[in-house]
Chains A and B, each alone.
Chain A
Amino acid sequence: MLNKQLVVIGGGPAGLAAAIEAKKSGAEDILLIERDSGLGGILQQCIHNGFGLHVFNEELTGPEYADRFIEELKTMGIETLLDTMVIELGADKTITAVSPKKGLLQIRADAVILTMGCRERTRGAINIPGYRPAGIFTAGTAQRFVNIEGYMPGKEVVILGSGDIGLIMARRFTLEGAKVKCVAEIMPYSNGLTRNIVQCLNDFDIPLLLSHTVTYIHGRDRIEGVTIAEVDENMNPIPSTEKFVSCDTLLLSVGLIPENELSKMADIKIDNVTGGPVVNQRMETSIPGIFACGNVVHVHDLVDFVTMESRLAGMGATNYLKDKIPDKNYISILAGDDIRYVVPQLVNPEKILSEKQNFFMRSTRPMEKARLFIESDNELIRARVLQHIKPSEMINIEIKKSELAGKDIKTLKFSLREEV
């Protein structure tokens, strides 16, 4: 049994930032465990740019962004295990991991930070009827084949889902000489950044079919085409609008799901809306000393926010290691009207780590203009006008520690009211 002060599970942007911050704030004995053969997580295959506008004031590609942290991690001498998969996590912070070189490792940690990221929603999970041929990929898996392995999954592509991953891959495939026939999106609005609609679809004249979905997959051995249909207000396909579109590849960009198998193994409390652990103001889960940050807590759209959140978790873990006193006396953070969820879900205002606390949230629907209400126990703290609100673009609200501490508040609610 190996003893470690702090173990970080995952070496993507969340794990890297958390480990570095933990070391900076005083943790000495840190081990970062990563299942891939290199660090950087999903950023390794995100070769497009758009990362780092907030954190570095530069526009970087995924690998470049990751490299900043990987270099810093190396410089700080933080111990890393690569090619190592954590297969068990106990509520008592015991970790079982396996690797070809080191065999089976059992580690007892004083604190753990979970940064396992997320997985992609599959064809099976959304029940697209039809056959089960080759040629159906989730966008991330296709991205791995193209950018890391160097292979083209197909030549004639239909994409379902207008999330950023699907849009990015529409451009990637087109640049590499494939034909992307269309992007179908079941909602009446796109899920991706406007910048990506322009630079990934408009630039290449790829049609975006809003309020459309794939209703059938044709082809027994390799996909031969899909049936695309328009959907009504209840997102049910309208049979008279069905059209066959031939293709040899179907890319699915239909959602990301936080990967919490290990968290569930340890009986960590999971938020049903986010799919990730319930966390407090220092990103600590329901088990004192086990922290979580990044996509494993809630799906992010900007890696810059992942970094911010993960630095908080790193600080939180070091903070915990100092006195190991579990947090309590929480304010419950509530998602009010038209807010889908808020992270963190619990805040101990006395223990907010800096002068302010970030609250990350998402709206339930697009709104051009709305007033965001921040209320404590039915008293209005603040209201703010927000513009161009989209569920796919996370909202970040800062509240000063002084607004919450020493006030005996029980609940803090965020809600939106649309304004015309």
Chain B
Amino acid sequence: MQSVEVDKTVTCIICPKGCQIDVKLVDGNIESIKNYGCKRGIEYAKNEVLDPRRTLTTTLKLADGRMLPVKTKEPIPKKLLKRAMVELKDVTVSPPVKIGDVVVSNVVGTGIDIVATGNAEKK
């Protein structure tokens, strides 16, 4: 069987330097990491290549028509962001809601909840 080699360049965001870190993958495993500026960069580049995650921040509709700001409690896989947005599109939240309240559990099967980042009193 042939080996699959992939070269990726990651812009590190840990500090303002923004190192362009080169990662070589062979058959899905990291073979080498080059051009990092520090230890934190290695860790960041590894995660960005193998399992890039993002905190999703968005809004949900409240029952009274207003908007509620929300976020994923923890970062979810980057490739699931769009699917999460689609899953959330018809959700309506009934006030009262407090910051930190779980408004949707286990978004797109990640096991991660969506929590409110704003308060909404009953109108």
Contacts and interface: CB of A to CB of B under 8 A. Distances in A.
A150 B59 CA distance: 9
Interface string B28-55: 0000000000000000000000000011
A62 B117 CA distance: 8
B99 A194 contact: no
B65 interface: yes
Contacts of B55: 49, 59
Interface in A22-48: 44, 47-48
A194 B119 contact: no
A121 B121 CA distance: 34
A202 B58 contact: no
A175 B85 contact: yes
Nearest to A149: B67
A176 B85 contact: yes
B81 interface: yes
A149 B59 CA distance: 11
A103 to B, nearest CB: 25
B71 A49 contact: yes
A203 B79 CA distance: 9
Interface string B64-80: 01110101000000100
B118 A195 contact: no
A63 interface: yes
B13 A147 contact: no
A150 B118 contact: no
Contacts of A147: 59, 67, 69
Contacts of A149: 67
Nearest to A390: B16
B40 to A, nearest CB: 14
A288 to B, nearest CB: 38
Nearest to B57: A48
A33 to B, nearest CB: 22
A3 interface: no
A148 interface: yes
Interface of A: 44, 47-49, 59-64, 67, 146-150, 175-177, 193-195, 197-199, 202-203, 387-388, 390, 393
Interface of B: 11, 13, 15-18, 54-59, 61, 65-67, 69, 71, 78, 81-82, 85, 99, 117-119
